[in-house]
Amino acid sequence: MEHELDIRKLRVLAAIVETFIQTGEPVGSKLVAELLGGEFSPATVRNDMATLFEMGLLEQPHTSAGRVPSHLGYRTYIDRMMKYKPLTKGERDEIEAMFNLQDPDPDRLLADAAQVLADKTKYATISTTFKPRSNKVKRIELIPAGGHTVVILLITTTGVVKSRVCRVSFQVTPEVIDFFSRFSNGRFAGMEIADITAFYVNSLSMSLGEYTAYFNQLLSAIYDLCREAGEGQYYSGGASNLLTYAEFSQIARELFGLLDRRETVQSLISRDQGGVQITIGRENSQMELLGSSVIISQYKIGESGAGAIGIIGPVRMDYARMVPRLEYFAATLGRLLSETFEET
Amino acid sequence: MEHELDIRKLRVLAAIVETFIQTGEPVGSKLVAELLGGEFSPATVRNDMATLFEMGLLEQPHTSAGRVPSHLGYRTYIDRMMKYKPLTKGERDEIEAMFNLQDPDPDRLLADAAQVLADKTKYATISTTFKPRSNKVKRIELIPAGGHTVVILLITTTGVVKSRVCRVSFQVTPEVIDFFSRFSNGRFAGMEIADITAFYVNSLSMSLGEYTAYFNQLLSAIYDLCREAGEGQYYSGGASNLLTYAEFSQIARELFGLLDRRETVQSLISRDQGGVQITIGRENSQMELLGSSVIISQYKIGESGAGAIGIIGPVRMDYARMVPRLEYFAATLGRLLSETFEET
DNA sequence: GTTGGCACTCACATATATCGAGTGCTAAGC
DNA sequence: GCTTAGCACTCGATATATGTGAGTGCCAAC
C-alpha cells in the first residue's frame, strides 16, 4: 500500500498546484497532460492523480470535478518542487524606492513597512520586533509642556523611545521637574524593563512620603511607558486586501480580529527559525488561520534577528513569487534599521 | 398633485422606519396597522403608504413586497418624528468607566476613543481633531539617545506633542546638541506651524553654511514633525464591524479604503455645524458612503469645538439610540481632554 | 375619509430535466 | 509492468416548470 513519489508524480503535483494557484479552478487530467508537454496521455496522468489522491496530496471537490491540492500537497510542492521566481532588477529597485520615501524613525519605519508591503502584495501584512532579551532603561526625560503638563520620554538600551503627555496636579516649575528627573533616573536608569513591576513602582511611590500624591501620575505614566517599551512593536496593514479573496468573505471578521491581537500574531512567529517560514492552512495553530497561509521572514539588525515581517493570504498564494520578494523586503528593512541602530 | 403629510401619515412613516431598522425586512400594511394600535385598517394604511411612496419617502423592493423607507424617508423621520431614547444611568456609567480605563495621554485618548466606541456600538468609528486655526511652535527639545541618535520633540501651543527618532551623521555631544537646540528654538519657536514651509527650512539650512550637511537630517525631521502636528489627529476603529452588515459585503473594500484616508474623512465633518450631524446615504458626497449613514458629534475643549467623533454604519441604523449615546460619549471625551488642556 | 373584499403580482422555494467536464475502470498495446 | 484508448458513470451547474403566500392596488360600500 506504500506509494512512491516518482518524478512524474511530482511533476503532476507541481502542475496542479501551479495551475490552481493561478486559476483557482480544479485541474483536470487533460490539462495536466498538456502542461507536461504531451509526454503522457491524460489516462496516465489520471492514474498518477489517483495515487496522489490516496497519499493525501490532492483533494476532489466532488466526484466529477478536477483535482485540487490539499494543504499537504502544497507543503510537498513547496518542499520538493518549488522554483523561486527571482526578482528582476526593476522589482528590487521598486522595493528600495518604497523605503526611500519612508520615514527614518524606526518605529514609523516598521509601521510603514507593513503598509507598503500590503500595498505591494495585496495581502494582509504584519510587522513586529522581537521582545528583546534584555532591555534596560537608559534614561527618562521630563519636558515641561504647560503649567500642569509634562511630557515624559523613556529611552531604552535597545533604542526604543516612548513618550506620553502627562497632566500633573502641581504647578510645573524647573525645580520640581529637576527633582523628579533626578529621582526617577536614579531609581529607574539601568533597570531591566521587565523588573519594573507595578509593585516596584508602588514602593517607590511610597518612599516619596508626603509627595506621593504629587508624583503618582508621573510614576504611573512611567510604568505604562515601560510596559509599552517592553513589548515588541507590532503593526499590521492591508487587512482589507483579504476581502478581495472570495474564500475569506465568511471569516473576514475573525481574521481582522486576529490581526488586532498582537500576542496572537506574535505567537505565529518562531523566533528560532531564521529566514523564511511558510505555514499552510491547517498547519496553523490558530483557528482563524485554518484557511490561510502565512509567510514570515525575519530581518536582522546587524547580525542578530531583530524582528519579523510577514504576509497573510489565501492558501492559494503564489509562494514562488512571494517568498523571494518578502525575503528581499525583509533584508532591505533590516539594512535600514541597522543604519539607525548600529552602535547606539 | 401636492400631498400633505398629516399626522397619521407621519405615524405610518415612523412605524415603517422603526420596524425596518429593527428587522431589516420590508414592512407590510397589516403590521403597520397593528403598530398603530388598530386604530385604522390595513387598507387605510395602504392608502397612506401609496401617498408616502409618491412623495418619495418609501420604496418597494418589488411590487408584492412591503415598503422600505427611502433615504428621504429616514431624513423626514429623523427631522420630524424621532424621539431620542435617553441613556439609562447604567449606560452613562458604562461610558464613564470605559474612559477611566483609558490612557490620559490626549493623543492615545483619542485613538482609544475610536476603538472603545467601535467596540460598544459595533459600527465603524472615526475620531479627529480639527486643524487648529492657530498653532505655533512652543518649543523644540533635542534629547541625545545614542552616539548618533537624537530624539526630537516638538511641542505646540495647542498642546500637541510629536516626537521622532533621528539618526545624525555626527557624534552626538552635549555641545552640539546645545548649539542646535538654541539654533532651532531661535528660528522656530513662536512660528505658525503653517508658515514652516519646505522653503523656509531650506533657507535655514543654507544659513548654516558649512554645517548644513550636519544638521540637514534634523531640520528635515523638524519639518516632518511640523507637518504632522499641523494636521489634525485622525483615528478610526472597528472597520471590521461593518462586515457584520450584509449590505456592506460588496463595498467593504472601498469603505475600508475610505477610512484610511484622513483627508476624505475630515471632509465629512462640517466644522461649523456644532452638536450632532446626521448624514444619510445619498446625502453623503463620497461615493463609498452612498449606502451608509454617518453620525458625527463634535466635542469641545473648554468652550470651543476641538474635534469630532463619529460612527459610520448602515443606513438602517438605530438613530434614536445612537445619537444621544454618541453625544454623551463626545461630551465625556471633551471633558477629559479639557482637564488635560485647560490653561496649558 | 375609511373599510372590506378580491384579483393580481412576484420573489422564493421546490421539483424535474438536461448537459458536460472529468473520473474510474477495463482491456489492449508496447 | 507501465501506458493508453475507450466508455460508462457521476454529479454539480444550469435551465425550465410549478406552487405558495405575503402584500399590493383598486373598487364599491359604508
pLDDT digits (tens, 9 = 90+) for A193-252: 999 999 999 999 998 888 888 888 899 999 999 998 988 889 999 999 998 887 888 888
Question: Are the CB atoms for B305 and B274 separated by under 8 Å?
Answer: yes
Task: Report which of A179, A97, A109 is spatially closest to residue A142, judged by C-alpha positions.
Answer: A179
CA distance B106 to chain A (A): 7
pLDDT digits (tens, 9 = 90+) for B12-41: 999 999 999 999 999 999 999 999 999 999
Q: Does the nearest atom of strand D lie within 7 Å of B46's Cβ? A: yes
pLDDT grade, residue B344 (50/70/90)? Answer: very low
Rounded to whole angstroms, how far apart are CA atoms B329 and B310?
A: 10
The rounded Cα B69 to chain-centroid distance in angstroms is 26
Question: Are the CB atoms for A322 and A140 separated by under 8 Å?
Answer: no
Rounded to whole angstroms, how far apart are CA atoms B108 and A163?
A: 11
pLDDT digits (tens, 9 = 90+) for B39-55: 999 999 999 999 999 99
Stated length of chain A: 344
Question: Are the CB atoms for A151 and B155 separated by under 8 Å?
Answer: yes
pLDDT grade, residue B125 (50/70/90)? Answer: very high
Residue A88 CB burial class (10 angstroms; 0-12, 13-18, ≥19)? exposed
The pLDDT value recorded for residue A1 is 39
Question: Residue B110: what are its φ and ψ, rounded to 5°?
Answer: -70, -40
In chain B, positions 16-45 with C-beta closer than 7 Å to nucleic chain C are 39-44
Q: Which nucleotide is nearest to B47 (CA to C1')?
A: D25
- Rounded average pLDDT over B179-207: 94
Question: Are the CB atoms for A244 and B253 separated by under 8 Å?
Answer: yes
Task: Report which of A312, A322, A316 is spatially closest to residue A257, judged by C-alpha positions.
Answer: A312
Spell out a b/e string for B14-50, using b for 16 or more CB atoms within 10 Å of the CB, else e.
bbbbbbbbeeeebbbbebbbebbeeebeeebbbebbe
Ordered DSSP codes for A9-27: HHHHHHHHHHHHHHH-S-B
Q: Which nucleotide is nearest to A64 (CA to C1')?
A: C22
In Å, what is the separation between the CA of A50 and the C1' of C24? 9
The pLDDT value recorded for residue A158 is 84
Rounded to whole angstroms, how far apart are CA atoms B109 and B309?
A: 12
State the Cα torsion B261-B263-B268-B271 to the nearest 10°: 150
pLDDT digits (tens, 9 = 90+) for B285-317: 999 999 999 999 999 988 888 899 999 999 999
pLDDT at A344 over 80: no
In chain A, positions 271-330 with C-beta closer than 7 Å to nucleic chain C are none
pLDDT at A103 over 70: no
Chain A nearest-CA residue for B338: A167
Place of cell 461615493: B287
Give the mean pLDDT of chain B. 91
- A177 Cβ under 8 Å from any chain B Cβ: no
